[in-house]
C-alpha cells in the first residue's frame, strides 16, 4: 500500500486510538496561500504585561525584578491544594452521576524577563535554564505527598488560547493521573510486560533507521513527526537513551535537549514566517512513589497551522463525531520541516 497516495488508518500505540489519513485530498500540502512574514513588533519590556519584571499581576502581587526565570503560584489556579472538607465523592443514579474531589496546584513559569522573546529566539544556554527550572519544579512539586502527576506545558500564540505573548508556560499538578497520560502509561506498561523493552525507545530506534520522519537529531535527542500524528505538523522530542523523567538527564543531555527545543522552534517559525503557535507538553514518570521502568520521557508538540500563518486545521464534523483525520502525511510534514533552515527568518531578514 502506498501510504502517500491511498486513504488509510494509522494506529497510535501510545493512546490506543486510530487516525484516518487521506493523502489523496492534498497532494502538495504546503502549496497555496502565500503571505508576507508576520513580524511581531513587541517591546523588550511591556508596562502593561502582568508577567514582565517589576509589574503588578492581575491578582495584585508584584513581580520581582527577575533576570532569568520566574515562577509563581497561578493567581487564578484551576486546582487548589486544600483538602476538601466533608464528602469527597458523589455517586448517584447507579454510577451515572459521579464526581470526585480533585486536589492539586498550578504554577506559572516565565522563561525570560524579555517580553519580546520566545523559546525559538532564546539562546541554548537560556533554554537550558528553563529545562533546569522544569526539572526542579517536577522534583519539588512531585515530592508533595498529595501530588501524583506533574504536567508541564506551554501554550504559545493567541490561536492556542494564550492571552499573553510574554514567554511562559504552566504546571498543573494533581492527585489523580489525568486521562491522556494515564492511557499512555497503561499502553507503555503493557508493551513493556510483553516485550521487555520500552515502547518509545524501540519506536525511536525504528525511526532513526527509517529516517523519513526524522526532523532533527543531535547526540542525545531526536525530533520526529510520529507515524500516527494527528495535527499537520505535530512532532515529538525523544531521548536516545531511555530515561523516564527530566531528573535522569545528565548535563550533556540537558544541553542537547535545549538545542533540540531551539532548533524545532526555529523550524516551526520558518515554516510560515510567523511566531508559530502550538501546545507543548512534557510526559514523564508520575510522582506516585512507584518505579516506572516502562516509561520514556517525551515532549508532544501540537501546532494547529495547516497551510499558512492564518490557515489552521479545525477539529470539527467528522473529527468530533467519529475519529481523528488528517490529509497531509507524517512523511511529507517531516520532509517539509527537515528542509527548513536552522537560522530564524527574523535574523535572515536583517
Residue 250 near residue 132, CB atoms below 8 Å: no
Alpha carbon distance 288, 274 (integer Å):
40
Question: CA-based Rg of the chain, rounded to a whole angstrom?
Answer: 21
Phi, psi at 182, each rounded to 5°: -60, -40
DSSP state of 233: T
Q: What is the per-residue DSSP string for 31-85?
A: -S-----------SS-TT-TTSTTPBPTTSPBPP--SS-EEEE-TT-SSB-SPPP
Alpha carbon distance 117, 130 (integer Å):
13
Residue appearing with cell numbers 520526529: 224
Residue 109 near residue 134, CB atoms below 8 Å: yes
Query: Which residue of the set 149, 168, 220, 283 is catalytic?
Result: 168
Q: Which residues contact 188 (CB under 8 A, 6 or more apart)?
A: 14, 198, 199, 200, 294, 295, 296
Give the 3-state secondary structure of residue 341: coil
Residues in the chain: 350
Nearest to 22 by CA among 307, 223, 319: 319
CA dihedral 122, 125, 130, 135 (to 10 degrees): 160
Query: How far is the CA of 237 from the CAs of 208, 256, 307, in angstroms?
Result: 13, 11, 23
Give the 3-state secondary structure of residue 235: strand
Query: Is there a catalytic annotation at residue 168?
Result: yes
Catalytic site positions: 168
Amino acid at each position: 500500500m502506498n501510504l502517500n497516495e491511498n486513504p488509510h488508518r494509522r494506529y497510535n500505540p501510545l493512546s490506543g486510538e486510530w487516525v484516518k489519513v487521506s493523502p489523496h485530498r492534498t497532494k502538495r500540502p504546503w502549496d497555496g496561500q502565500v503571505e508576507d512574514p508576520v513580524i511581531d513588533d513587541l517591546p523588550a519590556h511591556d508596562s502593561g504585561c502582568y508577567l514582565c519584571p517589576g509589574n503588578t499581576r492581575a491578582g495584585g502581587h508584584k513581580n520581582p525584578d527577575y533576570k532569568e526565570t520566574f515562577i509563581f503560584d497561578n493567581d487564578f489556579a484551576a486546582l487548589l491544594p486544600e483538602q476538601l472538607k466533608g464528602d469527597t465523592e458523589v455517586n448517584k443514579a447507579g454510577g451515572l452521576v459521579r464526581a470526585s474531589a480533585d486536589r492539586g496546584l498550578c504554577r506559572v513559569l516565565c522563561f525570560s524577563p524579555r517580553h519580546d522573546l520566545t523559546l525559538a529566539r532564546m539562546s541554548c544556554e537560556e533554554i537550558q535554564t528553563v529545562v533546569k527550572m522544569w526539572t526542579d519544579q517536577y522534583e519539588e512539586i512531585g515530592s508533595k505527598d498529595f501530588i501524583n502527576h506533574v504536567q508541564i506545558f506551554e501554550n504559545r500564540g493567541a490561536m492556542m488560547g494564550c492571552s499573553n505573548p510574554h514567554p511562559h508556560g504552566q504546571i498543573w499538578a494533581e492527585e489523580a493521573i489525568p486521562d491522556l497520560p494515564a492511557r499512555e502509561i497503561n499502553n507503555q506498561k503493557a508493551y513493556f510486560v510483553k516485550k521487555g523493552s520500552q515502547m518509545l525507545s524501540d519506536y525511536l530506534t525504528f525511526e532513526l533507521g527509517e529516517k523519513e520522519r526524522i526532523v532533527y537529531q543531535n547526540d542525545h535527542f531526536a525530533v520526529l513527526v510520529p507515524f500516527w500524528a494527528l495535527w499537520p505538523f505535530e512532532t515529538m522530542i525523544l531521548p536516545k537513551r531511555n530515561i523516564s523523567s527530566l531528573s535522569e538527564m545528565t548535563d550533556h543531555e540537558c544541553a542537547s535537549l535545549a538545542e533540540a527545543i531551539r532548533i524545532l522552534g526555529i523550524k516551526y517559525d520558518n515554516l510560515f514566517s510567523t511566531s508559530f503557535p502550538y501546545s507543548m507538553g512534557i510526559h514523564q514518570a508520575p510522582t506516585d512513589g512507584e518505579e516506572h521502568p516502562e516509561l520514556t520521557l517525551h515532549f508532544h508538540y501540537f501546532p494547529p497551522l495547516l497551510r499558512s500563518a492564518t490557515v489552521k486545521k479545525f477539529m470539527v464534523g467528522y473529527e468530533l463525531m467519529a475519529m481523528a483525520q488528517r490529509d497531509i502525511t507524517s512523511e511529507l510534514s517531516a520532509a517539509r520541516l527537515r528542509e527548513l533552515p536552522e537560522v530564524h527568518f527574523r535574523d535572515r531578514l536583517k
